[in-house]
Amino acid sequence: METLRELAGRYGALAWRRRWLAVAAAWLVCLAGWFGVATLPNKYEANARVYIDADAVLTPLLKGIAVESSLQDELDLLQHMLLSRPNLERIIAKTDLQLDATTPIETERMVASLADKIKVVAQTRNIFSITYRNTSRQLASDVVQAMLASFIENKAGDNRDEIDRASTFIDSQISIYEQQLRAAENRRAAFRKKYIELLPGDSGVNQLEMARTQVRTLNGELADAQGRRTLLATQLATTQATLGGDGAPGDPHAQLRLAEDKLRELKQVYTDAYPEVMTQQHLVDTLRTAPSVPAGDSAGGMRATSNPVYEQFRLRLLETDSQIESLKRQIADAKTQQDRLEGIAKGVPELEAQYTNLNRDYEVVRRNYDELVSRREGMRISDAAQKKASNIKLVIIDPPSVPRVPVAPNRSLLAIGVMLAGLGAGAGVVAGLIALDQSFHSLIELRAMGLPVIGSVSLATIAPTLLERIRQLALFGGAVVLLLLALGGVLMHFAQPI
């Protein structure tokens, strides 16, 4: 069996035999690659930095109404606005790019490639760098310049449109909410009207409670009236319907006595000059002188006359009776009312729930409506403010500039890469040839053919001397070193300022 060392030795020998093929492949790849690198066109990079107030540009007044967009979304949107199709078409039309885009298809391609090549990168939230590469310095600069210009041009008009759009939106929302609000109001009013007695009104008094109290009050009054009537009836029974001669209430003597008694009482308190005393004195005097007159009447007074007290009692009784009747009727009325209310009152919890619902709906609609109205007002104000201060939104920090040194291609790096690729190609060619090789290297392999083998014979040439080996190695090494030297030359050539 072959050991690993033998195997390595064999493949080494195979590779060594093909070394010049490897060198040739490496040189071929390197020369072609270096030529290719040398002929690559230079690329210049134009760069500008602008300050863009993303909030002002993107969220004119809708903020808060819709879901708040994230910062990343805003930046994406802004980039798309900058690289929008109309924008790019304007850029093409303004610059020399239009020379390459004469047909619609070419324009289409140009727009697509521009959108791809112009890089808008957010450095901070509001500062953007705009970068574009082209083989022509002038064109690179022009494109970035045109881009900025067209963006600035557009900005005012765009904003106006957006405000109008926002305003229209809010107006339409307001009218919708207005209708809803009206409907809710109507529903609530109808409900209130229907169940007004049961709902806790503005006064806060329940109608049913009021009805019950009224019934109770009326009942009390009725009882009072009936008691009074009983009392009056007994009084009436004990009172004489007619009056006799004596002891009649109209007896002048009795009046005189009464008056004299009163006069005495007054004189104990007051002097004679006190007006009341004087009036009383006058009354007594009048009465003293009077008996002659009433004496004439006393003869007639002896007849039976109707008793005034009795008459009064009767009158009072009648009054009380009619009062009782009236109270009874009122109680009946109040009862009916109470019964009706009690009938309705069983459904009160549901009604209250319904009423709460109606109220809530109404409240919600009204709140939104109020909000919208106030926003519209706010918009009017900020719109007015914006008209005055719209130029703050886009400020060019660094105007477009193009360094004299091209940014691409990195020729030195490419040249080194080409050389590595060349060496790889050389090794690859040899490795591929060895891998494809199906020759025989030992008797064991030959015997595997299945035929008798008579033996092996060594290479007839004399083994190379040490000097010869060194010479071969030096030749091969020289070829490789020459490649490295060539790379050095190529690098120096590329390093020169162009």
Contacts with other proteins by CB under 8 A lie at 6, 9-10, 13-14, 17, 437-444, 446, 449, 451-460, 462
Task: List the structure tokens of 177.
Answer: 């909410």
Q: Hey, what are 12's tokens?
A: 């080494």
User: In 10 A of CB 75, how many CB atoms?
Assistant: 19
The dihedral built from the CA positions of residue 341, 345, 348 and 350, taken in this order, carries a sign that is: negative
**Burial class of residue 118 in the structure, from the number of CB atoms within 10 Å of its CB (0-12 exposed, 13-18 middle, 19+ buried):** buried
The span from the CA of 227 to the CA of 324, in Å, is 10
Q: How far is the CB of 16 from other proteins (least distance, A)?
A: 10
Q: How far apart are CA 479 and CA 189, in angstroms?
A: 105
Closest to 43 in 3D by CA, of 414, 425, 485: 414
CA dist., res. 311 & res. 318, Å (int): 11
Of the pair 183, 444, the CB lying nearest other proteins is at 444
Contact 130, 144 (CB under 8 A): yes
User: Shortest Cβ distance from residue 21 to other proteins (Å)?
Assistant: 15
Q: Least distance from C-beta 446 to other proteins, angstroms?
A: 5
Residue 275 or 450: the one with the smaller Cβ distance to other proteins is 450
Least separation in angstroms between residue 13's CB and other proteins is 6
Minimum Å gap between C-beta 14 and other proteins is 6
In whole angstroms, how close is the CB of 465 to other proteins at the nearest point?
A: 14
* Smallest gap from residue 445 Cβ to other proteins (A): 9
Could you list the beta-strand ranges (E) of 182-258.
242-243
For 277, other C-beta atoms within 10 Å of its C-beta total 18
Question: Closer to other proteins at the Cβ: 392 or 446?
Answer: 446
DSSP conformational letter for 96: G
Min CB(489)–other proteins separation in Å = 38
Please give the Cα distance from 395 to 417 (Å, whole number).
43
> How far is 488 from 85, CA to CA, in rounded Å?
47
Q: What is the largest CA-CA distance in the chain?
A: 203
Task: Decide: 319 and 224 in contact? Cβ < 8 Å.
Answer: no
Q: Please state, in angstroms and rounded to a whole number, the distance separating the CA atoms of residues 62 and 159.
A: 13
How many whole angstroms separate alpha carbon 394 and alpha carbon 361? 45
Q: Work out how close the CB of 1 gets to other proteins at its nearest, in angstroms, rounded to a whole number.
A: 9
As beta bridge partners, residue 396 has: 50
Which of residues 18 and 393 has its CB atom nearest to other proteins in the complex?
18
Asked if 91 and 97 touch (Cβ cutoff 8 Å), the reply is yes
In whole angstroms, the minimum distance from the beta carbon of 12 to other proteins comes to: 10
CA distance 413 to 417: 6
Q: What is the three-state SS of 84-111?
A: CHHHHHHHHHHCHHHHCCCCHHHHHHHH
Taking the least distance from each CB to other proteins, the nearer of 183 and 446 is 446
Residue 372, C-beta contacts closer than 8 angstroms, at least 6 positions apart = 170, 173, 174, 177
Contact residues for 344 (Cβ-Cβ < 8 A; gap 6+) = 195, 197, 198
Give the residue with the Cβ less far from other proteins, 293 or 453: 453
CA–CA dist 263, 288 (Å, integer)? 13
Smallest gap from Cβ 443 to other proteins, in A, equals: 5
Least Cβ distance, residue 24 to other proteins (angstroms): 20
| For other proteins, the closer CB: 366 or 441 | 441
| Cα distance between residue 363 and residue 242, in whole Å | 78
Q: 308 or 464: whose CB is closer to other proteins? A: 464
Token duo for residue 35: 């030529």
Beta carbon nearer to other proteins, 66 or 466: 466
Residue (70 or 439) nearer to other proteins, CB:
439
Q: Rank residues 13 and 205 by Cβ distance to other proteins and give the closer one.
A: 13
Nearer to other proteins, 10 or 160 (CB): 10
